[in-house]
Structure 1
Amino acid sequence: MTALRTVRCLADAKSAKTVEQAHQERMKMAVDRAQIDADRAVLRKRWIDEGFFTGETLSQAIDAAVVRKPNTRDHFYSEHGYQTATIAEINAQAWKLARALARAGIRKGDVIAVQMPMVPEVVPVQLAIAHLGAVALPIVHTYGPADLTTILTAGRVRMLIIPDAWRGIDFAERLAAATLPQSLDTVLVIGNGGAFTPRTLRYGDLLASDDDGKDDSLISTGDPQDDSLILFSSGTTGVPKGIRHSNESILAEYTVPFLANDGPYFTMMPPGHIAALVVIFHSILKGVEMVTADRWDAALAAEVCERHRVTQTGGVPLMLIGLLEAARQDSRDLSSIVSYRMSGTAVTPHHIRMASDAGFLAGRFYGLSEHPTVSVVNDNGSFAQRSTTDGVPSEGTEIRIVDDNGNDVPIGTDGEIATRGPELFIGYTDPSLELTSFLPGGWFLTGDIGHLDEDGAITITDRKKDIIIRGGENISPKEIEDLLLDHSAIREVAVVAYPDERLGERACAVIVLEAGQTLTLAEVIAHLSAKDTAKLKWPERLECVEAMPLTANGKVRKDVLRARLRAETAPA
């Protein structure tokens, strides 16, 4: 494992720049298509030689894993109650679905979008897509007609799979309001609602169709290099990017020792997000028992963790806090949990200590859709490493910290994180985006800011897009958020920019208060002043809200907060 460590200082006023200047500097680092392709070929050969790419397709790996541990059990809690099945039973259903879809004309390479909550059918659906050699495109289940139109069109989707309805959401009605692309010729509905042209298939009908379990003549599971998955970015920064993964890059993810034991693992993350897909396939490929629920419900989470003696789980800080509060309120026993994984810049030492005080070890990890697990903290690591860093590079992954010209700079100061490794994505659906996303040698520019320490551990400190530029000075929201979370009245905080005619931008602290608490801007400033925080970093506006706007995977929608502030400060 190699960790190349260098950094730059973001706080230097001389380094402050406009968005246009930053774009021009990134263009200077651009590589051409020929170099990108040549770098990928060299790296692929290396990862084959090192054993990360085994020559298997995802379909072949699933079948082999089911043979090894056929009785591994998955448990599902949804609006229809509790269901359970072994992975052998789930895979048999997946193969039956794959054969029925092949008879209906679905073929290798077809893009199949899946917009489903975490319901029992989602696992056989994902496995069936792999067995077909098709390309899965998960869509967050709460996305409405506008997002559907954008993603289905950009993804050149041939088939969409949806439930007819779920917890009051009429998926069929919502889809009818979208503008469907010409590429979409089939909608597969779980349930009896909705009818779409040119063709609607029913999940139940396909599983009930004649199938002797032997005729796979219409199925070609493809090549390890074939596309297997497309992920669209969450859309918090503008037009979503389509992120392509191959059989090889997806399977490389499962060489990472992400799970601490054989489970059960509990998740309420929605399957439209990479984090939930990782858990689904870990359950199958590693034989790890899985417990899921179709929506976030803290009381239910505490209940099922106690019932199934869950040993590991994870999520964003909001989920940890909710789980622990529900367990206290309902007297639930969480003593079986030994591991809790968290990610995101919102994770602080306070959250890690909170988990430790509850009796289970917590640690941070870092990944993104383009590179799902860049780093992970070992549960046996020190409290300092688990609480203040995002771990060390996962096996096969390399990390650099670079300046705006792509140069390595010394350890300990923040810079842009560049990564490469066998689970790195194979490109965007819009290839032109790749030209400013890579450095020579196949290094992917993540857009995340962080630094490496002497032990090779990485700490994520911010996103480039989150930097507030106040009068030419760069302010890191993450730094201020961490300081404010130490205030007893503050439950959650997000620091975002709002426009200012004189300075360009100022900082606003958007805060969710603890129950019964009040807070003024003067008290916020006094708190930061007592911590010797530079005056230029003090928020100049305070907004108290009942709840933060969140993405489907629990991250704060800072783009929504910024838009609100822009609207409020716009000239009349």
Structure 2
Amino acid sequence: MASIDTLTVEELALTGISQTLALQVHQQLESIITHTCGSLAHTWQMICKEILLPSHPFSLHQLLYHSTYRNWDSANLGPPPAWMPSLETARATNIGQYLEKHGKELLGSAYKDPISSFNNFQAFSVENPKAYWAGLLEELAIRFHEEPECILATDNLDECPGGRWLPGASLNIAECCLRPHHARKDEAIALIWRDEGMDDTPLKTMTYGELRTKVSHVANALEIHGFSKGDAIAIDMPMTTWAVIIYLGIVVSGCVVVSIADSFAPREIETRLKISKAKGIFTQDIIVRGSKSLPLYIRVKEADAPRAIVLPGRGSDLTVDLREEDISWDEFMDKGLEKDRSGDYKAVPVSVDAFSNILFSSGTTGEPKAIPWTHLTPLKAAADAWAHHDIKAGDIVSWPTNLGWMMGPWLLYAALFNSASIALYNGSPVGLGFIKFVQDAKVTMLGLVPSLVKGWRRICNVFDYDWSSIRCFSSSGEASNEDDYLWLMGRANFKPVIEYCGGTEIGGAFVTGSMLQPQALSTFSTPTMGCRLFLLDAKDSPLPQDEPGIGEVALDPIFLGASRSLLNANHYDVYFKDMPCFDGLRLRRHGDEFQRTPGGFYRALGRVDDTMNLGGIKVSSVEIERICNTVHPSVLETAAIGVPEAGGGPEQLLIVVVLKDGCDVISNDLLKQKFNTAIQQKLNPLFKG
């Protein structure tokens, strides 16, 4: 491939553009190259601003990107930036405004401007956690019922390696993100949504005041129906407006949400209900996806679930007969509304260490780890959104997800704490309906998993939608592909992708990107605010912080939001046992292998244990092998392996099979069919092999 300064008009025309446009682009390139004086990063920045449009063939985007960086010195500079912040946009971010106001006070003479001082501020957040989090609590307008004794207590690190955050404080985290204040007005829009199949109809909306009223109704109804503070109540339904309201209603009443993905098979549902000791479950009769109706209540019933409150998936009437102990959504809400209360439900105050949500992550023993979020954990999600996704009042945030996975609760707190609107599409995000919804809702921050981008790129030969409202994307869940993400950025006039990697057990990320730093394709640019990460070599010694290298990720244990307990495992053994110490602190195990590149970027290289990402869902090989070992009498044993595609990106599942001696040979196609069917029936109906 030619370098950008030697591209010809003919080479440009081969991308599918007209000869006239090729000549125009060539002339623009000559002007840009003269103006940027050999700076490849600034050349690309100007190409994005002055030449490339979403309507141009992607082959033109590819040609100009790769030609620009053909002679980039990756060995010394690291990956080339696909996006760079301007000082003007950096100053308008949450962090930029905060630093312009407090930078001299916090960093002294080291403070210059938000871009050049960003790394200093990140280091400050780690070295001075009390000062950093005191400022963030004020920014997020946290309301305590009982004020904390201090921000952080580190008097007993042997027992609490991560320290004790906000000891003695009580609050209700759902109340905190719903109550009105200077940036969160009752008349502001909290929820925006549309149902699949209604893609040409007006969007539906709900204000913060309306949301708080409906949350109060749910909390009242829970009380009327006998649920009380501390009870675990599951949610197994799609991410609809009612799911959001139910989630917040459970938390505001002092109860605990049990998160179950709506795609799980009965066995997986039952496992989570038993581990959490759930006393009730909210679900739907069916899930509507296009013209299809997928059963949900039947799966919940087969899981021997406790008392169920069942919502209709379509219309206002249920399509199933309920068990004697179960009740319809209408009956549940009618009784709650009978209770005469004036004003909002009075949120139940609890200790910051009280559970608010029980989520699950794949374990290496086949049983999912039950990870409690406290009323403190959501502050990590809200703070990451404030600092790294730059979510603020007036933003519209969409992230196709489910309350069964951590990004569901993350989305609620990330948007509501920062006074933004949540945009929900009640349907499949893989089709054109969702793409149009992003346009119509004027989404400003779009979250996704890489598999979605691959699907959108496949169906959008020509991109006829306006995504110009997007200020940034965010990507989580699995490794991304550089080519796919170059395509994605081009759909929104080259807005940055904030890669975001963490885990259920930390309520957010440990490494991510920033609107104040250059962003390179499929890489992370910084540890999150308040977090310090280490890469361990083969002898479990931390590699030098400022040098390139590859190693297993370990975390400084002192950062707000990290888990302190597990329901079905020894937390210390899982995260701290046999880990090395650094500066007297025992490091926290995470389990990912990472590369730190020249230039200070990070790349995820996969798990060091047997966990894999399939379609953005973490699953243990043990879970898959347990199922595959029983699909046919000729199978002796199987090994499940996650294999990334060439060039990086989402993992594909490879099953290695050992047959019993003396058995007839089985065709690969038959085995593949049986494996797919068994995994769909016993693990996840959405699995596609």
Q: Report the TM-score, using the length of structure 1 for normalisation.
A: 0.71
Task: Give the letter aligned to residue 400 of structure 2.
Answer: M
Alignment of 1:376-387 (within 5 A): 376-383=512-519, 386-387=520-521
2:264 paired with 1:149? no
2:323 paired with 1:323? no
Task: Give the letter aligned to residue 169 of structure 1.
Answer: L
How far the C-alpha of 1:289 sits from its partner, in A, is 1.6
Are the counterparts in 2 of residues 229 and 246 from structure 1 also a CA contact under 8 Å?
yes
Task: Give the letter aligned to residue 445 of structure 1.
Answer: R
Aligned to 1:100: 221
Inter-partner Cα distance in structure 2 for 1:222 and 1:267: 29
Are the counterparts in 2 of residues 172 and 194 from structure 1 also a CA contact under 8 Å?
no
Are the counterparts in 2 of residues 108 and 221 from structure 1 also a CA contact under 8 Å?
no
How far the C-alpha of 1:94 sits from its partner, in A, is 0.7
Deviations 1:117-160 (A, max 9, x none): 02220111011011111111111101121111111111111111
Aligned to 2:296: 171
Aligned to 1:370: 505
Choose from 226, 230, 243 the match for 1:109: 230
Distance of aligned partners of 1:328 and 1:281 in 2 relative to their CA distance in 1, 3 Å threshold: farther
Are the counterparts in 1 of residues 364 and 611 from structure 2 also a CA contact under 8 Å?
no
Deviates most, 355-364 or 36-45: 36-45
Distance of aligned partners of 1:99 and 1:500 in 2 relative to their CA distance in 1, 3 Å threshold: closer
Inter-partner Cα distance in structure 2 for 1:109 and 1:260: 34
Deviations 1:188-227 (A, max 9, x none): 1113444235x32332233333133349999733221101
Choose from 163, 185, 189 the match for 1:72: 189
How far the C-alpha of 1:447 sits from its partner, in A, is 1.4
5+ residue gaps in structure 2?
A: 1-121, 127-153, 313-317, 613-640, 660-667
Q: Secondary structure at the match of 1:122?
A: helix
Aligned to 1:418: 554
Count of matched residue pairs: 460
Distance of aligned partners of 1:40 and 1:404 in 2 relative to their CA distance in 1, 3 Å threshold: farther
Q: Secondary structure at the match of 1:370?
A: helix
Are the counterparts in 1 of residues 554 and 588 from structure 2 also a CA contact under 8 Å?
yes
Deviations 1:263-319 (A, max 9, x none): 222222222211122112222211112211132232012211221222220212222
Are the counterparts in 2 of residues 115 and 272 from structure 1 also a CA contact under 8 Å?
yes
Aligned to 2:21: none
Task: Give the letter aligned to residue 389 of structure 2.
Answer: L
Task: Give the letter aligned to residue 427 of structure 1.
Answer: S
Alignment RMSD: 3.9
Choose from 437, 441, 445 the match for 2:575: 437
Are the counterparts in 1 of residues 533 and 554 from structure 2 also a CA contact under 8 Å?
yes
Aligned to 1:204: 330
Alignment of 1:164-563 (within 5 A): 164-167=285-288, 168-180=293-305, 184=306, 186-191=307-312, 192=318, 193-196=320-323, 199-208=325-334, 209-214=337-342, 220-234=348-362, 238-256=366-384, 257-262=387-392, 263-294=395-426, 295-324=428-457, 326=459, 328-329=461-462, 331-358=464-491, 359=493, 360-371=495-506, 372-383=508-519, 386-403=520-537, 406-410=540-544, 411-419=547-555, 420=557, 421-432=559-570, 434-438=572-576, 439=579, 441=585, 443-453=587-597, 457-465=601-609, 481=644, 484-485=646-647, 494=652, 496=654, 498=656
Deviations 1:36-78 (A, max 9, x none): 9844646444x449xxx97533133123357733213311223
The structure with more radius of gyration = 2
Deviations 1:432-484 (A, max 9, x none): 2541321464633111111335765432211113599xxxxxxxx99x846x2
Inter-partner Cα distance in structure 2 for 1:453 and 1:127: 41
Distance of aligned partners of 1:211 and 1:3 in 2 relative to their CA distance in 1, 3 Å threshold: same
Choose from 261, 282, 288 the match for 1:161: 282
Choose from 119, 134, 153 the match for 2:255: 134
Q: Secondary structure at the match of 1:106?
A: coil
5+ residue gaps in structure 1?
A: 6-34, 469-476, 502-509, 511-542, 562-572
Deviations 1:348-370 (A, max 9, x none): 33233223333222231211111
Q: Secondary structure at the match of 2:245?
A: helix
Inter-partner Cα distance in structure 2 for 1:119 and 1:467: 29
Task: Give the letter aligned to residue 394 of structure 1.
Answer: T
How far the C-alpha of 1:346 sits from its partner, in A, is 2.4
Aligned to 2:101: none
Q: Report the TM-score, using the length of structure 2 for normalisation.
A: 0.59
